[in-house]
Amino acid sequence: MTAVFRHEMRLLFSGLTAYVYGMFSLLAVAIYMMYYNLSMGYANFEYALAGASFALLIMIPILTMRVIAEEKKQKTDQLLYSLPVSTTQVVVGKFLALLLTSVIPLVFVVAYPVILKQYGSLYLPTAWGALAGYIMLTASLLAIGIFISSLTESQPMAAGICFAAMVLNYYMVKLAQYATSSAFGSLVALIVMEFILALLINHMTGNSFLAELTGGVAMLGTAAVYLFRTDWFEGLFPKILENISVYERFYEFVDGVFDYTHVVYFVSVIVFFLFLTVQSLEKRRYN
């Protein structure tokens, strides 16, 4: 894993990728800090981080698009399978390299609240708590981007799909406001989500029987619950959209709420998508 980590770091910093990412990361925070803290006069540095999180929609796809897609295109992923390390170690090594690349610029951001405090009543624990949430948000989006990169050999396609996924997640809460809250609408939405899950299982495992069995059982179970407890489905789909949004959890940190359940959620998202990435690579190995 250490060898993979060093290799990725060398690739990132031997070119312009890491430096361009760091520049735009610092620039995004600086622009929003100037707007909220200096221009508008808010004594809340976390507002600047909330605004800067929008830039991740563009930066994360650019940073992650090549991490596995390029390996598959150049057929150098075959070399990874011959290394004396497991696929899990390869994926984790790549993830840690991208995470460190993302965190390095934020080392400078730690000093921003201290500087602002000299000119106002800024509360440092809340600002640094929001920064911790920003790092966890970045890590979660990186894990999602790495998984998407493992699904294709085309960097532009990986970037495009990743951008679409980031935008969908960013506006998830607003979409929830317009989503159907009726019981039947929630039922249909859940069945569609279970169908997509079955397609994902089929793609990841290549086992159509397992995918059909999982999807069929989930759909029948959902329909059965709907018949007996229809009231459970009232407003269920909007709540699901709100709860699966990583940005919504980050905004809790921005509001000054450091909830350990949100930390567990971010860790779960990271582990889940890294697991899917490992399974995607394992499928290619066996093929």
Quote the crossing angle between the two packed helices 183-205 and 260-286, to the nearest 10°: 40
Total number of domains constituting the chain: 2
Query: Tokens 């696929």 identify what position?
Result: 87
Average pLDDT of the residues in 203-226: 81
Residue 260's pLDDT band (cuts 50, 70, 90)? confident
The reply to whether 208 and 79 lie within a common domain is no
* pLDDT per residue as tens digits for the range 268-286: 999 999 988 888 887 766 5
Average pLDDT of the residues in 222-233: 85
Count other C-beta atoms under 10 Å from residue 37's C-beta.
22
The reply to whether 132 and 153 lie within a common domain is yes
The reply to whether 74 and 30 lie within a common domain is yes
Cα distance between residue 65 and residue 240, in whole Å: 28
Q: What percent of the chain has pLDDT over 70?
A: 91
Amino acid at 202: N
Q: Is residue 10 part of a domain?
A: yes
Say whether pLDDT at 198 is over 80.
yes
Say whether pLDDT at 139 is over 90.
yes
The reply to whether 12 and 103 lie within a common domain is yes
Q: Is residue 162 part of a domain?
A: yes
* pLDDT per residue as tens digits for the range 146-185: 998 888 888 888 888 888 888 888 887 777 666 667 788 8
Q: Is residue 241 part of a domain?
A: no
Structure-token pair, residue 203: 């793609």
The reply to whether 207 and 85 lie within a common domain is no
Which letter, b or e, does each residue of 220-236 get, where b requires 16 or more Cβ atoms within 10 Å of its Cβ? eebeeebeeeeeebebb
The reply to whether 192 and 275 lie within a common domain is no
Cα distance between residue 28 and residue 215, in whole Å: 42
45 vs 60: which has the higher pLDDT? 60
Tell me, yes or no, if the pTM score tops 0.85. Answer: yes
Q: Classify the C-alpha dihedral 91-59-204-219 as positive or negative.
A: positive
Q: Is residue 52 part of a domain?
A: yes
Residue 217's pLDDT band (cuts 50, 70, 90)? confident
CB 22 within 8 A of CB 104: yes
Amino acid at 83: L
The reply to whether 201 and 103 lie within a common domain is no
Q: For residue 222, what are the domain limits?
A: 182-234
Residue 122: partners with Cβ closer than 8 Å, 6 or more residues away: 43, 44, 45, 113, 116
Residue 80's pLDDT band (cuts 50, 70, 90)? low
Say whether pLDDT at 287 is over 70.
no
The reply to whether 80 and 202 lie within a common domain is no
Say whether pLDDT at 142 is over 90.
yes
The reply to whether 214 and 153 lie within a common domain is no
